[in-house]
């Protein structure tokens, strides 16, 4: 079983329009709405890959039933803690050319007793877990140590943990000894204040993170690990909705860790799944047939630039 924690569960709303023109009125051609947030999206993709998952997190009480119903329909086990206030919405507008524009609300504050309830739920679930994913933004007012506490709980049960976060939450996860942290390249540099991705990754590893995987959008991703450094890139730039691509990559990385796959294979899977997710209209979905087609075309290079063709 793989656990996912989404501190800020969302209702993901996707609008499809012919063109997005600032200042203009738009007629929406298609609307899709589903339970979301980064950890929920990771759970969806892990479920599609055949893994048992349990999604943990907070949800605004105004839409808690709707979120739970959507997860039930998807066959996703969940243990969500309702908190006062509206569930945040994440609205993505996808134009006809595939360009996506995203608007993400902050979400409801989570009081300290609710955090303690989440930590208790997690502690009770970790003995049965193969891995933990903590992914997404923290709700308003969360203290800087919130993410680190979840990582330390996993470490106490010897459960590997992947964290996809930014800012103080990312630094705290590294210091708590997260096995993998997965920011995008710009977040990594901004969080650490270093001049480039390699220096920023080294800074996080010195803080305690075992491995750092930096997403580089259409250019792929780079992994800085104890075993070495690798970069993986898709065969071509794909047009579509990129909002769930990082969640697909996180799912592949944690699945590879559970399977004990070597890092080049984990990266190859992560880039293939990420690229296949771009081709889907909504975050949290992936075309596994497309991922299998793309996987052999992913170029993986070691830190000396040598191709790895396996």
Q: Would you please indicate which residues are annotated as catalytic (active-site) residues?
A: 247
- Scanning the structure block, which residue is given the tokens 């459960």? 159
Residues contacting 227, CB < 8 A, separation 6+: 262, 263
**Distance between CA atoms of residues 101 and 112, nearest Å:** 33
- H runs (alpha helix) in the chain: 38-48, 64-73, 112-125, 146-156, 167-175, 185-192, 197-207, 245-259, 263-278, 288-294
How is the beta sheet containing 100-104 ordered, strand by strand? 30-36, 10-16, 88-94, 100-104
Kind plus residue range of the DSSP H or E element containing 144: none
Residue with tokens 């590997």: 160
Q: CB 269: neighbour CB atoms within 10 A? A: 24
d(CA 196, CA 268): 23
d(CA 95, CA 99): 5
For residues 286 and 45, the answer to whether their CB atoms sit within 8 Å is yes
What is the distance between the alpha carbons of residues 299 and 310, in angstroms, rounded to a whole number?
10
Give dist(CA 167, CA 144) in Å, integer.
9
């Amino acid at each position: 079983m793989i656990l996912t924690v989404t501190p800020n569960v969302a209702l993901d709303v996707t609008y499809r329009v012919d063109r997005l023109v600032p200042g203009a009125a738009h007629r929406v051609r298609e609307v899709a709405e589903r339970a979301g947030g980064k950890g929920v999206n990771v759970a969806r993709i892990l479920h599609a890959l055949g893994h048992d998952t349990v999604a943990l997190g907070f949800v605004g009480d105004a839409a808690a039933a709707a979120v739970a119903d959507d997860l039930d329909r998807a066959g996703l086990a969940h243990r969500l803690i309702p908190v006062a206030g509206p569930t945040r919405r994440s609205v993505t507008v996808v134009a006809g050319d595939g360009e996506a524009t995203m608007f993400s609300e902050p979400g409801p504050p989570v009081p300290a007793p609710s955090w303690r309830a989440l930590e208790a739920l997690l502690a009770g679930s970790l003995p049965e877990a193969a891995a933990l994913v903590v992914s997404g933004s923290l709700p308003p007012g969360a203290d800087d140590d919130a993410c680190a506490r979840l990582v330390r709980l996993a470490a106490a049960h010897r459960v590997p943990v992947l964290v996809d976060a930014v800012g103080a939450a990312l630094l705290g996860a590294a210091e708590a000894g997260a096995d993998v942290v997965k920011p995008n390249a710009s977040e990594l540099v901004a969080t650490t204040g270093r001049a480039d991705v390699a220096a920023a990754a080294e800074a996080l590893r010195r803080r305690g993170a075992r491995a750092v995987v930096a997403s580089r959008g259409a250019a792929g991703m780079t992994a800085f690990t104890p075993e070495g450094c690798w970069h993986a890139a898709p065969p071509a730039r794909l047009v579509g909705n990129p909002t769930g691509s990082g969640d697909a990559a996180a799912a592949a990385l944690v699945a590879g860790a559970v399977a004990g796959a070597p890092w080049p294979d984990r990266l190859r899977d992560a880039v293939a799944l990420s690229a296949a997710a771009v081709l889907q209209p909504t975050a949290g979905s992936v075309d596994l047939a497309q991922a299998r087609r793309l996987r052999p075309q992913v170029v993986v290079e070691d830190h000396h630039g040598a191709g790895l063709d396996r």
